[in-house]
């Protein structure tokens, strides 16, 4: 699958949520572009599709567990002695539960996966990147961070990802670390299924409003993957701390 002349030739990348959706599309594209990919996911069944695939090392991991984060980054260190790119893609949403129906359990689950896990993974990965001369981090935000089209759990978590991204960009820019955030719009993934249930009626009503937007707001996982590739390649070497909406213009409405 890899190409010695690809845009990521010789690079080592860690991608979470690599078993499906945006994570899968990104892992596939990175491997095609010459990277060696540590493909992490919580689903053993989803990871099985990477067995025997050139340039891809599947790692079963729960990103809410410190020992699994250590194992993911440790794969890059022990096998290759470096980590050049990190894409924090694994995530869930809050199924659009409104504030007065959001309990602590829902808030904590969303924040643990969507904000605390990327913080912990970045914290573990950055020293390895610095040791190797630098690296690129891409965090996945959301249209919700810009316009609040979900419940408070998801909206707050993704807004927090923006703050995390900018702090890393400023704090480690001089050490060769670039950190950017992508805000997807509507994207064909199974995030609702992985989020643990059905959308709240308030969210379904909001979806009907969004469908009236006069733009091509609905995209595919590959659209996000191509932006991840750009941000992890030398083509974007002067882009750091940026928020990039990949939503067909959704956030303009």
Residue 61's nearest CA partner among 51, 49, 75 is: 75
Would you call 154 a catalytic residue per the annotation?
A: yes
On whether the CB atoms of residues 30 and 83 are closer than 8 A, the answer is: no
**Which SS3 state, helix, strand or coil, does residue 181 take?**
strand
**Which SS3 state, helix, strand or coil, does residue 9 take?**
coil
**Which SS3 state, helix, strand or coil, does residue 2 take?**
coil
How far, in Å, CA of 58 to CA of 28, rounded?
Answer: 12
Burial of 114-129, coded b for 16+ CB within 10 Å and e otherwise, reads: bbbbbbbbbebbbebb
Question: Which one from 24, 143, 154, 172 is the annotated catalytic residue?
Answer: 154
The catalytic site residues sit at: 154
């Amino acid at each position: 699958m890899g190409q010695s002349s690809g845009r990521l030739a010789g690079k080592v990348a860690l991608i979470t949520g690599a078993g499906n959706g945006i994570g899968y599309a990104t892992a596939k594209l990175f491997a095609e572009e010459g990277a060696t990919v540590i493909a992490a996911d919580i689903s053993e069944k989803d990871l099985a599709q990477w067995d025997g695939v050139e340039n891809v090392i599947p790692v079963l991991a729960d990103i809410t567990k410190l020992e699994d984060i250590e194992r993911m980054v440790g794969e890059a260190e022990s096998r290759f002695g470096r980590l050049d790119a990190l894409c924090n893609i694994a995530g869930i949403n809050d199924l659009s539960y409104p504030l007065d129906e959001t309990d602590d359990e829902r808030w904590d689950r969303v924040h643990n996966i969507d904000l605390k896990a990327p913080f912990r993974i970045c914290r573990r990965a950055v020293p390895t990147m610095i040791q190797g001369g630098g690296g690129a981090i891409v965090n996945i935000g959301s249209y919700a961070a810009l316009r609040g089209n979900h419940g408070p759990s998801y909206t707050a978590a993704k807004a927090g990802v923006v703050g995390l991204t900018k702090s890393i960009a400023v704090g480690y820019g001089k050490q060769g670390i670039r950190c950017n955030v992508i805000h997807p719009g509507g994207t064909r993934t199974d995030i609702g299924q992985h989020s643990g249930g059905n959308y709240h009626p308030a969210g379904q009503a909001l979806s009907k409003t969004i469908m009236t937007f006069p733009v091509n707001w609905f995209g595919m996982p590959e659209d996000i993957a191509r932006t991840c590739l750009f941000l992890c390649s030398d083509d974007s070497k002067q882009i750091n701390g940026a928020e990039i909406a990949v939503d067909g213009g959704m956030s303009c409405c």
